[in-house]
């Protein structure tokens, strides 16, 4: 099966039986695990279905005709105008949980599921999908000719090939009324412009993050919370834009995942900008190991590479003494260039693995080759031939 036919998902198989098309049940784009599927419910769970379209676009539709539909079936649903082709992503009582998550009521008038997609629906849908990339490239050229400050990131055709959604990114408000007229005349379809953000564009395109996993915005994140550099500061991360920025050129969403734990742990930490007054000199803060509750200080009159680890309680004690106008006596505190690593609690039970197996390299011995003794017969034959 072609990649574009998967509509942004990795589908392994597609079967067409009795004129209806069915695909693989699960998808990597904002997939939802139906954990309530095997729980008996008193409600009618065959009424509202979650239908997915290209990439991360989803919608809820009402099964007014009581059609027997399973997850992974291709269905023709109501659109404005005409109809669209989508894939059933979720059914059952968990759809009600999804409605609540999206702040929708079950009493909302949803659009209708017409029927299971037939072979001619699939063929027309595939023709529309084949036009999307060409349409996107052509629309970018038209946008550049009109000198509009916007970027068209994706194009999605409707299943009946009568309408297309143009997803664009713009820093400012753009007057694209002339653009809509030009696009409608050029492609002879109904045009819908939909503005998205940089993070939403990364979610639609997808990709692999520096962690080695699929992007969060493409796999499960639906609400994008603002991320600031304070999240990196709380976690003692280097303020390097190349490392903190994601594929969308914005700060990574994962910076917010653990920042609450760091903030809770830092509640009783002393101020970092306070200069400690000791008998060895003025000590300034260098870095902090939050969960080990260790703060590292450097003496100004010594080499800055030599730093002293102090516990949070010790720093509080020094600050209280300094506020009284006294100089704190550190005593014999062992200086260190870096924190000492903890002893690993690894036990080689089987006796086949070792943590330092890559470090203990056998020395390569440079063995000198022994010189061969000259063969007298070879020299004698050479003299006779000459």
> Which domains can be identified in the chain, with CATH numbers?
4-118 (no CATH), 131-199 (3.30.300.20), 225-264 (no CATH), 268-340 (no CATH)
Angle 310-311-317 (CA atoms, 0-180°, nearest 5)? 90
Query: What average pLDDT does the segment 117-125 reach?
Result: 92
Q: State whether the Cα torsion 104-109-111-116 is positive or negative.
A: positive
Residues near 315 by beta carbon (within 8 Å), at least 6 away in sequence: 270, 276, 295, 297
How far is the CA of 365 from the CAs of 293, 362, 368, 384, in angstroms?
A: 48, 9, 9, 43
3-state SS, residue 319: helix
Residues near 186 by beta carbon (within 8 Å), at least 6 away in sequence: 138, 142
Query: What average pLDDT does the segment 327-349 reach?
Result: 58
Residue 358: pLDDT band with limits 50, 70, 90: very low
CA distance 158 to 189: 10
Residue 253 is given by DSSP the state: G
Of all residues in the chain, the percent with pLDDT exceeding 90 is: 37
Mean pLDDT is highest, among 15-29, 32-46, 60-74, 359-373, for 60-74
CA distance 53 to 75: 11
Give the model confidence (pLDDT) of 249-293 as tens digits. Answer: 889 999 999 999 999 999 999 988 898 888 888 888 888 999 999
Give me the pLDDT at residue 375, please.
Answer: 66
Give me the pLDDT at residue 301, please.
Answer: 64
42: pLDDT strictly greater than 80: no
306: pLDDT strictly greater than 90: no
Q: Please give the backbone phi and psi of residue 196, each rounded to the nearest 5 degrees, phi first.
A: -130, 165
How far is the CA of 180 from the CAs of 128, 192, 209, 372, in angstroms?
A: 19, 8, 35, 86
- In DSSP terms, 288 is beta-bridged to 295
Give me the pLDDT at residue 34, please.
Answer: 74
Give the model confidence (pLDDT) of 14-25 as tens digits. Answer: 566 665 666 655
CA distance 193 to 155: 10
Give me the pLDDT at residue 150, please.
Answer: 92
Least confident segment among 62-66, 164-168, 182-186, 330-334 = 330-334
304: pLDDT strictly greater than 60: no
**How many residues in the chain?**
386
Give the model confidence (pLDDT) of 74-94 as tens digits. Answer: 999 999 889 999 999 998 888
Tell me the average pLDDT of the chain.
81
What angle do helix axes 132-145 and 177-187 make, rounded to 10 degrees?
140
Give me the pLDDT at residue 221, please.
Answer: 85
Cis, bond preceding 81 (omega within 30 deg of 0):
yes
45: pLDDT strictly greater than 50: no
* Host H or E run for residue 151: strand 151-157
Give me the pLDDT at residue 152, please.
Answer: 92
Distance of CA 120 to the CA centre of its chain: 37
Distance of CA 126 to the CA centre of its chain: 29
Residue 341: pLDDT band with limits 50, 70, 90: very low
Give the model confidence (pLDDT) of 207-216 as tens digits. Answer: 898 889 989 9
Give me the pLDDT at residue 112, please.
Answer: 93
Give the model confidence (pLDDT) of 214-246 as tens digits. Answer: 899 888 887 888 898 999 988 988 888 888 999
43: pLDDT strictly greater than 50: no
Q: How many CB atoms lie within 10 A of CB 275?
A: 12
355: pLDDT strictly greater than 50: no
Residues near 213 by beta carbon (within 8 Å), at least 6 away in sequence: 219
Give the model confidence (pLDDT) of 317-337 as tens digits. Answer: 999 999 888 888 877 565 554
Give me the pLDDT at residue 166, please.
Answer: 95
Give me the pLDDT at residue 327, please.
Answer: 85
CB 261 within 8 A of CB 271: no
238: left (phi over 0), alpha (psi -120 to 50) or beta: beta
CA distance 6 to 11: 6
Structure tokens that stand for 369 in this block: 């080759």
């Amino acid at each position: 099966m072609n990649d574009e036919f998967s509509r942004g998902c990795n589908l392994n198989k597609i079967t067409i039986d009795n004129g209806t098309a069915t695909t693989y049940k699960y998808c990597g784009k904002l997939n939802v695990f139906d954990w309530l599927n095997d729980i008996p419910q008193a409600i009618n769970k065959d009424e509202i279905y979650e239908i997915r379209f290209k990439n991360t676009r989803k919608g809820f539709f009402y099964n007014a005709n009581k059609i027997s539909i399973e997850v992974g079936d291709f269905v023709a649903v109501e659109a404005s105008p005409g109809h669209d082709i989508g894939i059933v992503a979720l059914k059952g009582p968990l759809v009600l949980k999804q409605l609540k998550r999206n702040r929708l009521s079950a009493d909302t008038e949803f659009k209708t599921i017409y029927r299971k997609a037939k072979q001619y629906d699939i063929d027309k849908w595939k023709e529309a999908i084949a036009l999307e990339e060409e349409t996107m490239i052509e629309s970018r050229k038209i946008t550049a000719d009109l000198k509009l400050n916007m970027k068209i990131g994706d194009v999605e055709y409707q299943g009946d090939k009568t309408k297309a959604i143009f997803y664009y990114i713009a820093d400012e408000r753009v007057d694209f009324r002339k653009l809509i007229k030009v696009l409608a005349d050029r492609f002879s379809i109904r045009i819908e412009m939909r503005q998205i953000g940089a993070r939403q564009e990364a979610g639609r395109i997808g990709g692999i993050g520096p962690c080695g996993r699929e992007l969060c915005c493409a796999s499960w994140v639906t609400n994008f919370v603002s991320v600031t550099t304070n999240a990196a500061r709380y976690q003692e991360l280097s303020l390097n834009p190349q490392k903190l920025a994601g594929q969308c050129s914005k700060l990574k969403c994962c910076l917010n995942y653990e920042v609450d734990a760091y903030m809770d742990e830092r509640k009783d930490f002393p101020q970092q900008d306070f200069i400690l007054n000791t008998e060895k000199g003025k000590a300034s803060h260098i870095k902090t190991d939050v969960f080990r509750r260790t703060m590292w200080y450097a003496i100004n009159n010594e080499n800055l590479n030599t730093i002293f680890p102090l516990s949070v309680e010790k720093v509080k004690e020094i600050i209280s003494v300094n506020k009284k106008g006294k100089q704190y006596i550190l005593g014999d505190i062992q200086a260190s260039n870096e924190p000492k690593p903890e002893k690993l609690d690894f036990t080689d039970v089987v006796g086949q693995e070792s943590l330092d197996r890559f470090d203990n390299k056998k020395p390569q011995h440079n063995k000198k080759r022994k010189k061969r003794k000259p063969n007298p017969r070879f020299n004698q034959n050479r003299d006779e031939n000459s």
